[in-house]
Amino acid sequence: MAALQLCPKFEHAVHILGKRWTGLILWTLMSGPKRFSEIEAVIPVSGRLLSERLKELESEGLVTREVFPEVPVRVVYSLTPKGQAMEPILAAIQKWAERWG
């Protein structure tokens, strides 16, 4: 019997979603752009860890960070088209959780 081989792309996607808070951050941004404090108010995570996850999601091309040079400086996070494409996946997880969770 041949050994099962995982697709590296599937494995990478599961790795991204499997990180703590990542799915919740993406789900929160599905409703539109948010400031850091708005995300922090919804998700019970430390500011340091939220900042780390947002940087990771930005480096994966799922989230954009836009800085507005105002006083005080305003920073807004939003989903890229790649991030928005996660919506059906997260919605399916939500549906599963409602039924089985």
Q: Is residue 11 part of a domain?
A: no
Structure-token pair, residue 12: 């990478």
CA 60, CA 20: separation in Å to the nearest integer? 16
Domain, as residue range, for 46: 35-100
For 64, residues 6+ apart whose C-beta sits below 8 A from its C-beta are 58, 77, 78, 79, 80
- Tell me if 67 is assigned to some domain: yes
> CB neighbours (10 Å) of residue 62?
22
Is residue 86 scored above 90 in pLDDT? Answer: yes
Angle among Cα 51, 26, 67 to the nearest 5 degrees reads 50
Query: pLDDT tens for residues 20-79?
Result: 999 999 999 999 999 999 999 999 999 999 999 999 999 999 999 999 999 999 999 999
Instruction: Check residue 68 and give its pLDDT.
Output: 94
Is residue 2 a part of any domain in this protein?
A: no
Q: Is residue 10 part of a domain?
A: no
Query: CATH number of the domain that 89 lies in?
Result: 1.10.10.10
Residue 1 clears pLDDT 70, i.e. is over it:
no
Domain for residue 6, yes or no? no
Number of structural domains the chain divides into: 1
